[in-house]
C-alpha cells in the first residue's frame, strides 16, 4: 500500500488538487470517487466496499480534508501579503463584501465557517495564529 500511496500522492493527487486553495472549500464528490476507486482497485476489493472501511483499513482520509487544510494555509499566506499585491486586494474586497452582508456565499465565508466549526473562532477574529505549524497540526 505504501508504494501505491506514494505513486497516487505524487502523480495523481497534484492533478486532482490543482488550485484547490480556491475551490477546495466545496465538496467535490468526483475527486473523492477517483481516490476511492483507485484504492479499491489496488486492494482488489469490491467497488461496493464501504468507503469508511476503506479509509480505516488504509490509514488514509478523504482528499477534501487536505483541500480544506490547503485553503486555510492559503488564507494565512494572504493575511501576510503586502496590501499592494493583487491577491491581498481581492481578499480584502471579498472580506468587505462579506462583512457588509452584500455577499454571504463566498470563499471568505467558507473559511470563516470552517474555522468556527472547528473551534478556531479566535483565529478568525484575530486574523493570525501564534505558532502556524502547531495550528495546522490541530
pLDDT, one tens digit per residue, over 32-52 is: 999 999 999 999 999 999 999
DSSP SS3 for 85: coil
* CA distances to 8, 18, 27, 35, 64 from 23, in Å: 21, 9, 9, 18, 10
CA distance 68 to 78: 15
Predicted pLDDT at 24: 94
Which residues, including other chains, have CB under 8 Å from residue 9's CB and lie 6 or more apart?
A: none
pLDDT, one tens digit per residue, over 13-22 is: 999 999 999 9
Predicted pLDDT at 131: 85
Mean pLDDT value across residues 82-91: 95
Domain range summary for the chain, segments of one domain joined by +: 2-66, 68-137
CA distance 60 to 43: 13
Contact 76, 132 (CB under 8 A): yes
Share of the chain above pLDDT 70, in %: 100
Predicted pLDDT at 126: 87
Contact 98, 104 (CB under 8 A): yes
> Among all chains, which residue has been given the C-alpha cell 497516487?
8
CA dihedral of residues 36, 38, 44, 49 (deg, nearest 10): 10
Amino acid at each position: 500500500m505504501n508504494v501505491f500511496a506514494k505513486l497516487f500522492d505524487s502523480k495523481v493527487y497534484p492533478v486532482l488538487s490543482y488550485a484547490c486553495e480556491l475551490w477546495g472549500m466545496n465538496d467535490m464528490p468526483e475527486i473523492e470517487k477517483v481516490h476511492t476507486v483507485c484504492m479499491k482497485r489496488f486492494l482488489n476489493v469490491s467497488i461496493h466496499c464501504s468507503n469508511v472501511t476503506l479509509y480505516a483499513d488504509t490509514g488514509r482520509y478523504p482528499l477534501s480534508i487536505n483541500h480544506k487544510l490547503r485553503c486555510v494555509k492559503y488564507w494565512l499566506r494572504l493575511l501576510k501579503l503586502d496590501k499592494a499585491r493583487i491577491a491581498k486586494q481581492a481578499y480584502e474586497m471579498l472580506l468587505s463584501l462579506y462583512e457588509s452582508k452584500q455577499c454571504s456565499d463566498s470563499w471568505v465565508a467558507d473559511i470563516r465557517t470552517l474555522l468556527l466549526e472547528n473551534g478556531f473562532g479566535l483565529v478568525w477574529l484575530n486574523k493570525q495564529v501564534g505558532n502556524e505549524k502547531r495550528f495546522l497540526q490541530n
